[in-house]
Structure 1
């Protein structure tokens, strides 16, 4: 094998956290280059398939495209390519970590030997590491066919990976599994999440530990392990103070052992004498059984146990209490009701007459159900000094062989965290004991409580047989109930989720997603305006930032998945409107699972040549992701006048709602005849009327000239945005009168829609500030400019049109030329500027390409007569206004809208001050 000639390399790794261009769910995307292996499918690689299957026998279960177990192995034998192998190995590695996942695909990027490898994941860290290890394993197993006579098992290169480092799969796999266990949720958290997911409750992990948000926005609840949003902090404090808990329970008439709280060792001995031996010594506020010593029969044993209990106490207090004999039971109470009972048996081994105690512990720990801490359903037994002393007290040494059937205890406390086991006793407990446990949870005030009972037999009333409550636990572990060592598992997470989300309550908030090449921000603002007028607390993301209930809380380009998740985390939001841009979808996916309404305005050439999207058809597939994320009870609002958008109807699981500027669209007519919905434009003597059609019903919404955003109906792109917003609002449940009111109150002012068709006047010159950066937007803006002076009488000299034009540097050269050419069709004067961020271009390069297009338009008979370049945006703004006369129109295509607006206001104030001074003189 030659590691340089025969190696798979990862060019890029992306993590999609929601529906995306390649998959309906979260996925890892590896761009891999298989190099010379493009000429060598697996059937030509000596020993590769056999060795791979030996290391990962679970690959036999992979169906691949064959639809039956063993399908992928058949593909290996017949010959498949290394990228495809990486996909299946990554999936299988995740499965060895307990993450069952079967979604995956491998597709060529179009470049020779370079593939997109996409596969699902449950935990993004585990998924990403699985891909890296899969590539290393494939590289390790590949043998150069020329060396087939030198090696027969795939180890011709001295067992080295692609980096030239020695590679031992068993060691690397063990490290991968350890990492997987470390980042995984504990059994209790996972049980609650499994129940939540079964009810279609969305969730987000809020930290690297077990803090999780269930639900969205105002409907959210949070959990941390088994503590919840409704868990009382005061109740947790009470439960943490064992002495106070005992006093409260005793005052309620519940059976508890006598106890005393001390800080000094001799005080502990005196308390033990007063209570009466045997006693228990434990930290006042400890947990997991740490520092607990039981069945202490004299002062010396109390002194010996005191130190460890004191060390485990956070506040330096130790509790001495009467020792209750009997079995150890944990009663789980949720919402005031008992839901499960488990008998806990301390860590122990049972002699077989052959193995020593040490060997028996090793055999017991070999149980795959046992792990470190709480990572698995059982915890490994740890042989501590205390365990050795306990074994010795029972008459054995660790290297001795106990008789067959002899039980040897390795811990006195029955905690699962110290290696104990559990036996389900849920349906055996006496009703009186259940009542006592439920009353104890109510006295302490916990919504989820673990009541520790010690009594001879849980099936008999504890008040008659002796025993009592020795502890009340906040955040009790679930694994002894969900995965008992003996008995039937109890589904204890169900009542927890019932407590957080009672039947009939919602865990989600409505989500409207808006995408398209142009108009996304304006349409999103219109929808948000409609629902804000209804009284909703709207969370909106756009290229301008994140707005919560009308207040801009973050100013940045917030049209990506991270911003969407931030809105869904906000506990005030009860309605979400997301502007969804192409870049965010390609970078991370949607960032949420589904949207109730998807709005697609248009698809036109823009941002092509970036991230593998080279054609407008591919761009349409990217924007189609929000349509694919519509559930069966949701809606997709689609532009019937755009062929690429109209084709997305096939990808929608819910209903399709059309909007169209064309008055006689046959597709819409047929759609509505079948009971469908559409928003259309009817032209009449009084003007253009926006009409909502639902089956045979025709509901007039508003004349376009009455909507401020349309500039008396001249801005047809905003007419289209208003129609899409009205359709989306109707689908989301807004009443018609509120839709009308919202659209009529939405103005394109800088303060309501900064950077989107903001009209102002400077020294009698009309100035429009708009974020126009691509050819389709320039064509729409130019159409508006052509209509702007329709009201000017023909006898009056036509006003001048001045355009300050620019685009982002990451567009293609031809796109920049086309932008200049389109601008040349509509403006008399063009001033070309550049954005502050050049995005990889040299200063003046972008402007030169735009100017080239404008001069081509000039030479071809376009409207433009004067062209100049002023690179700085503020300087270009001043130049545009300075060249205008009163009554002229200046259109500023801006990047930094706030700075440009401020410059315009300052320019106007200076002019006013100068005029006032002249008047005085």
Structure 2
């Protein structure tokens, strides 16, 4: 007995609905490669797996037979069909249908998965790999519509028509045959690539190694050479001056000049545009003046500059010689569009039969072009003694075009190994004379196997950016793999195509760690491209001021031709939104994982947050390194997902559980960066196997404030581990850390120390409880050290705190509770990003946490105020403080705050009192002096 079709309890149809879609453009939480992520809701269909839908599987396979080859989790062909027969849910079916639709469009893809959404009955995450994101999105849309239609047919939905529309769209989006051939060769060599527009402009390689090409025009193709090749008259003159065989020719601008030139040259002649292409406007074998006059406007219409060439008509076969890097790589005989009679069908019918060849398409979308029947074709057929509705005798060839271009429906026959050596020399010399790295030399001669100088043939044209499809997909003969020499030109064997990429992620400290790494390699003379929450920095120049910790900024850095090393700060949001902006990173640094941004985008637990951040670890190749914080359990667990080697860093002392793990790791030849106590202080030590190499005392690193800023000690360990993993010499790592300060220009908005009217000011960007604990610990250590030095009694600590509006209420309160443990007085402000909250709501939650800590007896804080505006809150914190106090300002717009502090300094201090060595007051000088005093 058949199971009834699903019927909802209402007027709506049973529907598989897409709730959201996202495009990952690099490694992501679901896949190592780019993918489309759909969240779908089955609704009532959750109760109807495929085995309860009569005829569903059979109808689907009838429409898409290719599904029979899908292995699915069974692992053998037909596995997916078996899964449907046994019963699987329609989200899983949509995944396979989307993959198969892309297969129908020529995209060889097998990557996909479907997983239920945690805690959401009937909702599924559908992950589908892709080669072209626009095609993938269209495939996903059509897949959902097809699945719904098979459940309950919609008369308005015609799958055959929809599939045809989809395939045409995919063909428009696809690269042409020439571009695709080069791209496939580059991918086979592990050369990264980016599509720079919706056309055929592609970048191969990264940064300083990047090369670009469009079709067969490359970064090495000279603009002057292209101009010369586009000017057929100049090309003919240059070739003739070198003694190469060319037809007699003249350049004319009007029909009278064309007729006169034809008389001088002698019939038959050719009339063609001076700077046309693809054979458009070329009129051949003109045998009288009337034919010349009629052909002139046809040629002139296709000439961009209005000039027309009249040249002698050379008889023979049409050959295209492909010259790459000065060497002949392929030769094809081009045969004009034609049909061959069979004694049964008319010419028109033969054209239709020929165009039905699946290899033929419109324009350059396929390896052959469909024959176009226009007035010129009809007239040509008539000149051969036939009509379009006439039956042609068996074996007789009827031409439908005079030119042998592939774009007009012609075919090609490979003749690479048939050409006479003299002809090869002539073609190579022609390419060298014009100056093209990739050139198509068009020969007209009776036989390419005989010397063209003896048989009377000639070079009729030199083409820049010649098409490859006649060579890669000849109609007859062996295909030639001509993309290899093109890629060899751009990337000679052994030449690098990638720049080293260091990815830094974590809840706290990633910006400072990224800056430390960049500073180290800048000292080595590298041109570093860096992304961070402050913007994109290219060779120490801020080129974009914005939160640039996402994949788009990463791609921007890798496109810059100056960059020879990239340091990417990778934020949680960017990974969730688009994945990484590249395919892999040589070094991944994970500083820590703490409660921040929880409750957003489906990330509710620390384990889920760690799964997002470990994407950078999963993107490490076998030859790469993951620099991991051994003191964080969630980071420690990431080692199991790393294909490369692990470099541990730890603040823990010898004898701890973490150090025991590191000792064992090093005994097996691993690497680590740790702290060792010596008589002179705490030493950073790099360990590799049984070797231990002393790097620097922590108290001598300016960024650590004599070792009191433990978070920057940890950041220095991570930066040293990353630099050492990339092969930086020990002395350069040491020098980089010794010269990296938290001055505003090296580390804006991160632990900037300055003095305002006798008050010590720290400007930082701290926005979560874990970061506040580290910052509070520093404030306590720093104040204690100031008191030990007799700075004038007890050093009060005043804090200015805030957090973003997208945090959970309890997370905001926790920030306030932690701040209450370390500061005497706290000013609470609103964050610049309210993110849907009412003004003052964030500040009230933070203040609530402070009051709760006070009530529980865990608070050092005795006074709390709420001042919502950041600059006004800054002013209030400074008003509360007295000379000798420590004021910690957690700010968003650090540039504006620093400007306000500078203004207050000028007001508080007369200009003459701040002159040193003849210099008037300079706020940067004060900041640097303060930093030097701390490390003296």
What's the TM-score bracket when you normalise by the shorter of the two chains? over 0.9
Q: Which residue of 1 aligns with 2:690?
A: 696
Deviation at 1:916, TM superposition (A): 7.8
Deviation at 1:434, TM superposition (A): 0.3
* 2:672 paired with 1:678: yes
Query: Equivalent residues in 2 for 1:248-263 (5 A)?
Result: 248-263=238-253
CA separation in 2, counterparts of 1:680 and 1:230? 48
Deviates more, 1:743-752 or 1:417-426: 743-752
Q: Which residue of 2 aligns with 1:797?
A: 793
1:507 to 483, 497, 503: 497
Deviation at 1:914, TM superposition (A): 10
1:307 to 297, 311, 314: 297
- The secondary structure found in structure 2 opposite 1:789 is helix
- The secondary structure found in structure 1 opposite 2:454 is helix
2:143 to 121, 125, 134: 134
Deviations 1:201-237 (A, max 9, x none): 0000111100110000000110011000010100000
Deviations 1:869-888 (A, max 9, x none): 00111110000010001110
Deviation at 1:451, TM superposition (A): 0.2
1:484 to 470, 474, 480: 474
Deviation at 1:44, TM superposition (A): 1.1
2:312 to 307, 318, 322: 322
1:24 to 32, 41, 51: 32
Q: Which residue of 1 aligns with 2:50?
A: 42
* 2:737 paired with 1:729: no
Deviation at 1:684, TM superposition (A): 2.3
Deviations 1:79-119 (A, max 9, x none): 11111011000000000000010000001112111111001
**Is the CA contact (8 Å cut-off) linking 1:5 and 1:36 kept in structure 2?**
no
Deviations 1:56-81 (A, max 9, x none): 11000100000000111111111111
Query: Equivalent residues in 2 for 1:344-383 (5 A)?
Result: 344-383=334-373
CA separation in 2, counterparts of 1:621 and 1:916? 55
* 2:487 paired with 1:497: yes
1:896 to 882, 893, 898: 893
- The secondary structure found in structure 2 opposite 1:522 is helix
CA separation in 2, counterparts of 1:573 and 1:876? 40
Deviation at 1:601, TM superposition (A): 0.6
Query: Equivalent residues in 2 for 1:652-801 (5 A)?
Result: 652-664=642-654, 665-793=659-787, 797-801=793-797
**TM-score normalized by the length of structure 1:** 0.96
Q: Which residue of 1 aligns with 2:934?
A: none
**Is the CA contact (8 Å cut-off) linking 2:233 and 2:250 kept in structure 1?**
yes
CA separation in 2, counterparts of 1:558 and 1:142? 45
* 2:864 paired with 1:867: yes
Deviation at 1:789, TM superposition (A): 2.0
Q: Which residue of 2 aligns with 1:114?
A: 123
CA separation in 1, counterparts of 2:782 and 2:424? 79
Q: Which residue of 2 aligns with 1:268?
A: 258
Q: Which residue of 2 aligns with 1:474?
A: 464
CA separation in 2, counterparts of 1:428 and 1:319? 31
CA separation in 2, counterparts of 1:880 and 1:870? 10
* 2:797 paired with 1:807: no
Deviation at 1:33, TM superposition (A): 1.0
CA separation in 2, counterparts of 1:845 and 1:48? 53
- The secondary structure found in structure 1 opposite 2:909 is helix
Q: Which residue of 1 aligns with 2:597?
A: 607
Deviation at 1:793, TM superposition (A): 4.5
Deviation at 1:783, TM superposition (A): 0.9
* 2:224 paired with 1:241: no
Deviations 1:453-505 (A, max 9, x none): 01000011111111110000000000000000001100000000000001121
2:906 to 902, 906, 909: 909
CA separation in 1, counterparts of 2:710 and 2:440? 65
Deviations 1:717-760 (A, max 9, x none): 10000000001001111111110111111100111111100011
**Is the CA contact (8 Å cut-off) linking 1:824 and 1:858 kept in structure 2?**
yes
Q: Which residue of 2 aligns with 1:163?
A: none
Deviation at 1:643, TM superposition (A): 1.0
**Is the CA contact (8 Å cut-off) linking 1:803 and 1:892 kept in structure 2?**
yes
Q: Which residue of 1 aligns with 2:375?
A: 385
**Is the CA contact (8 Å cut-off) linking 2:804 and 2:832 kept in structure 1?**
no
- The secondary structure found in structure 1 opposite 2:530 is strand
* 2:177 paired with 1:177: no
Deviation at 1:791, TM superposition (A): 2.3
CA separation in 2, counterparts of 1:451 and 1:44? 64
CA separation in 2, counterparts of 1:192 and 1:588? 27
* 2:842 paired with 1:852: no
Deviation at 1:913, TM superposition (A): 4.2
Q: Which residue of 1 aligns with 2:405?
A: 415
Deviation at 1:837, TM superposition (A): 2.3
Deviation at 1:614, TM superposition (A): 1.1
CA separation in 2, counterparts of 1:682 and 1:359? 87
* 2:347 paired with 1:338: no
Q: Which residue of 1 aligns with 2:523?
A: 533
CA separation in 1, counterparts of 2:833 and 2:32? 34
Unaligned stretches of 5+ residues in structure 1: 144-154, 161-165
CA separation in 1, counterparts of 2:784 and 2:800? 22
CA separation in 1, counterparts of 2:580 and 2:671? 26
**Is the CA contact (8 Å cut-off) linking 1:12 and 1:32 kept in structure 2?**
yes
Count matched residues.
Answer: 898
CA separation in 1, counterparts of 2:785 and 2:684? 22
Deviates more, 1:908-917 or 1:739-748: 908-917
- The secondary structure found in structure 2 opposite 1:321 is strand
CA separation in 1, counterparts of 2:322 and 2:793? 86
Q: Which residue of 2 aligns with 1:836?
A: 832
**Is the CA contact (8 Å cut-off) linking 1:328 and 1:343 kept in structure 2?**
yes
CA separation in 1, counterparts of 2:736 and 2:538? 17
Deviations 1:311-351 (A, max 9, x none): 00000100000101100000000000000000000000111
Q: Which residue of 1 aligns with 2:933?
A: none
Deviation at 1:915, TM superposition (A): 11
Deviations 1:593-640 (A, max 9, x none): 111111011011110111111111011111111111111111111111
Deviations 1:508-531 (A, max 9, x none): 111101000000000000000000
- The secondary structure found in structure 2 opposite 1:423 is strand
- The secondary structure found in structure 2 opposite 1:790 is helix
2:76 to 56, 68, 77: 68
Deviates more, 1:688-697 or 1:903-912: 903-912
CA separation in 1, counterparts of 2:261 and 2:787? 104
- The secondary structure found in structure 2 opposite 1:243 is helix
* 2:396 paired with 1:406: yes
CA separation in 2, counterparts of 1:36 and 1:543? 44
**Is the CA contact (8 Å cut-off) linking 2:783 and 2:886 kept in structure 1?**
no
Q: Which residue of 2 aligns with 1:151?
A: none
Deviation at 1:689, TM superposition (A): 0.3
Deviation at 1:8, TM superposition (A): 1.0
CA separation in 2, counterparts of 1:685 and 1:825? 33
CA separation in 1, counterparts of 2:157 and 2:843? 53
**Is the CA contact (8 Å cut-off) linking 1:5 and 1:35 kept in structure 2?**
no
